[in-house]
Structure 1
Amino acid sequence: MANEEITKILNAAARLLVKNQSVNILFEQDVVKIKLPTTRDLAKDLNTPHYYILPGFSLMEKNKLIKREERVGIWTTNEGTRILLSLLKDNYVEETKNILGEKLFTALTEKINTGLSKDMD
């Protein structure tokens, strides 16, 4: 159930990033983060009351897939970025390439899959 909830939320995040044609990526030493849509936007996309998706975010934070930063937003960790990029690649590859450009998307996918540690988040 927990993995289903996480996948459902991250699928909605991927869908909204593509729909909004905007992906905020932050590169830091050994870390690549993607900013997720707000919990309210995700709840609206999922047609679910806001408070029903909050436990999923707590679980993702506990599993070190995301980090919530007060007044900044919710960002993926390296592992969360791997999962989100995988969903984007599997479900929205052309749309994502149109937003990021093919070279950046390919380089980002390669970097996150080979060059970053899970422990650096």
Structure 2
Amino acid sequence: MKKVIATSKAPGAIGPYSQAIIVGTMIYTSGQLPIDPETGEMVAHEIALQTRTCLKNVKAILEEAGSNMDKIVKTTVFLSDMANFVKMNEVYKEFFSGDFPARSAFQVARLPKDALVEIEVVAIL
């Protein structure tokens, strides 16, 4: 059985999908864009700020589900330009303590709303 997770502390879906789904003891988030949940607007077009906002949104969703960043087992990072990888990585590591989760990172042709980065995660409860 699956359970839908939704919080106003992260941006609402911009399409027909949920912020996250719990199945058993696993949480699967949708890709989080660098949208400020209070304004509904994309943050400045700068990779560090956008990465930080994506991860804050992930954190809010996990907390709503009863989990946290330390329980992430896998992340997927989508970048509009792999030249932003180093700066994204600098911010990314600020959100984790101890062992880092497994991760994939890809350059994609384009992201929704022309974001520089989008991040999705899989975590345990």
Question: Could you state the TM-score of these two structures normalised by the residue count of structure 1?
Answer: 0.32
Larger helix proportion of the pair: 1
More strand by share: 2
TM-score of the two chains, using structure 2 as the length reference? 0.31
RCO higher in 1 or 2 (8 Å CA, sep ≥ 6)? 2
